[in-house]
Amino acid sequence: MSAMISGYMNRFVVGYAKLLDHDLTAPQYLIIQILAEDEPKSCSELAEVLDVTLPAITNLSNKLAAKGYIERITPDTDRRSVYLRLTEQGHEVMASMLERYQELTKPMWDSLTEQEIDTLISAYEKMGSLLPVGKIQK
């Protein structure tokens, strides 16, 4: 059961990212989404939230910076720390993706009853609460 649900969730996230922007991978999209909600973030914070290694974050952030979606900030007080934040172009991409998401998913959400939506939200909240601490953020 767990593998089946995980497979559906992975396909949904990957498919969603591809529908919104063919040049973004799901992890790149997640970084943009996280930074749009709470920026700037250090590379280690992103690695922890996404449960990946620092080299993986470096690789993903290099690609996002090359596209002009994020920028690196190095504080004067600690030159070893690197923080990431969205550029204006990154904010525009996020806004465009959110608009596209709403357009694409409106028929899906409209097809669910209020009770089905409440059940879905309740199930996700319960699943999230049972995950090990630090593995999921709202």
Task: Dump pLDDT digits (tens) for 94-118.
Answer: 898 888 888 878 888 899 999 999 9
Dump pLDDT digits (tens) for 16-37: 666 666 678 878 888 999 999 9
- Report the number of distinct structural domains present in the chain: 1
Domain region containing 88: 2-130
Residue 45 covered by a domain = yes
CATH number, domain of 75, equals 1.10.10.10
Looking at residue 17, what is its pLDDT?
62
Residue 86 covered by a domain = yes
Residue 135 covered by a domain = no
Q: What is the mean pLDDT of residues 77-85?
A: 86
Residues 6+ apart with CB under 8 A from 74: 81, 82, 83
Residue 60's pLDDT band, with cuts at 50, 70 and 90, is: very high
Residue 105 covered by a domain = yes
Residue 47 covered by a domain = yes
Residue 137 covered by a domain = no
Q: Across all residues in the chain, what is the average pLDDT?
A: 84
Per the CB < 8 A criterion, the answer to whether 61 and 70 are in contact is yes
